[in-house]
């Protein structure tokens, strides 16, 4: 929930990015985000982003729908620090514009800021300083994948990235499969695209045959798809995944 805005203090605005980030042929931004969200983004002159270069690409798409409040070169765009200490002191300069009365947009590479992307620590610091936080509506690939999977949408957990080392990854997959069997909970994981083949291979090897596995590839892209099969079915015809397309992996024990 948002906090009431204090007089003289700006708001931290969580701006959703389009899910087709990285697509060689991105579509109309208006098909990805509500018009009111695009207009709110266009009005912001201060930004904290994951990557300044790609943020400018996003703002160019915004400008095609709604005029920017200032020329792109005049906007104040700061990047998240590479690492954040326990106290979060390095985040304070990023929030100074809000303390001076300016609204600040927060943007991740794709989807919702602070959900499986940087931003949560900045939001926490904003709350501690009494800065209102306003999340704008937009799509999350995690929730779209869950909705399309047919798996349990009442109980689910986002477990993030699984271990890269084979033995540790195998143990984690079996642990999550057992948790799902006990609770009926859907497990949701992601992976860097160039490791898609390694992860799908490990899932098919270490999940139990009755477990239902859903693969949601490039959700929000023109070429996106989502398919759900039992592990035993997938083993008969494993999916071929590009090493350049993002994917979400969901499974629920049978």
CA–CA dist 149, 128 (Å, integer): 37
Q: What's the whole-number mean pLDDT along residues 78-105?
A: 87
pLDDT of residue 86: 53
Same fold, 11-135 and 141-252: no
- The full set of domain ranges for the chain reads 11-135, 141-252
Most confident of 19-28, 167-176, 219-228: 167-176
CA–CA dist 66, 220 (Å, integer): 22
pLDDT digits (tens, 9 = 90+) for 191-250: 999 999 999 999 999 999 999 999 999 998 888 999 999 999 999 999 999 999 999 999
Q: What sign does the dihedral 138-143-145-150 (CA atoms) show?
A: negative
Residue count of the chain, please give it.
254
Nearest to 98 by CA among 15, 5, 10: 10
Q: Are 79 and 23 in contact (CB under 8 A)?
A: no
Backbone torsions φ then ψ of 88, nearest 5 degrees: 70, 20
- Write out the E strands in the chain: 11-14, 46-49, 76-79, 104-107, 132-135, 156-161, 186-191, 212-217, 225-230, 247-252
Lowest mean pLDDT among 14-28, 147-161, 165-179: 14-28
Q: pTM score, two decimals?
A: 0.88
**What is the pLDDT confidence band of residue 6, given thresholds at 50, 70 and 90?**
low
Q: What's the whole-number mean pLDDT along residues 94-116?
A: 94
Radius of gyration of the chain (CA): 20
pLDDT digits (tens, 9 = 90+) for 32-48: 999 999 999 999 999 99
Of the chain, the percentage scoring pLDDT greater than 70 comes to 95
The CATH homologous superfamily for domain 11-135 is Tetrapyrrole methylase, N-terminal domain (3.40.1010.10)
CATH architecture for residues 141-252: 2-Layer Sandwich (3.30)
Residue 175 half-sphere exposure, CB side, CA atoms within 13 Å? 9
């Amino acid at each position: 929930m948002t906090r009431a805005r204090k007089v003289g203090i700006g708001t931290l605005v969580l701006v959703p990015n389009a899910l087709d980030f990285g697509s060689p042929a991105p579509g109309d931004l208006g098909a990805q985000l509500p018009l009111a969200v695009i207009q709110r983004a266009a009005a912001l002159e201060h930004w904290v982003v994951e990557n300044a270069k790609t943020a400018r690409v996003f703002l160019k798409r915004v400008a095609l729908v709604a005029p920017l409040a200032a020329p792109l070169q005049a906007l104040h765009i700061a990047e998240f620090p590479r690492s954040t200490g326990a106290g979060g002191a390095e985040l304070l300069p990023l929030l100074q514009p809000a303390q001076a009365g300016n609204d600040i947009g927060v943007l991740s590479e794709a989807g919702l800021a602070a959900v499986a992307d940087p931003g949560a620590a900045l939001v926490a610091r904003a709350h501690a300083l009494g800065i209102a936080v306003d999340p704008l509506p937009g799509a999350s690939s995690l929730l779209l994948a869950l909705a399309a999977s047919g798996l349990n949408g009442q109980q689910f957990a986002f477990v993030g990235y699984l271990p890269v080392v084979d033995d540790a990854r195998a143990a984690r997959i079996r642990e999550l499969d057992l948790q799902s069997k006990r609770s009926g909970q859907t497990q949701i994981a992601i992976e860097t695209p160039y490791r898609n083949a390694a992860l799908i291979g490990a899932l098919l090897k270490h999940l139990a045959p009755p477990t239902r596995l859903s693969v949601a590839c490039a959700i929000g892209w023109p070429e996106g798809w989502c398919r759900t099969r039992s592990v035993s079915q997938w083993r008969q015809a494993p999916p071929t995944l590009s090493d350049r397309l993002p994917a979400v992996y969901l499974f629920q024990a049978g």
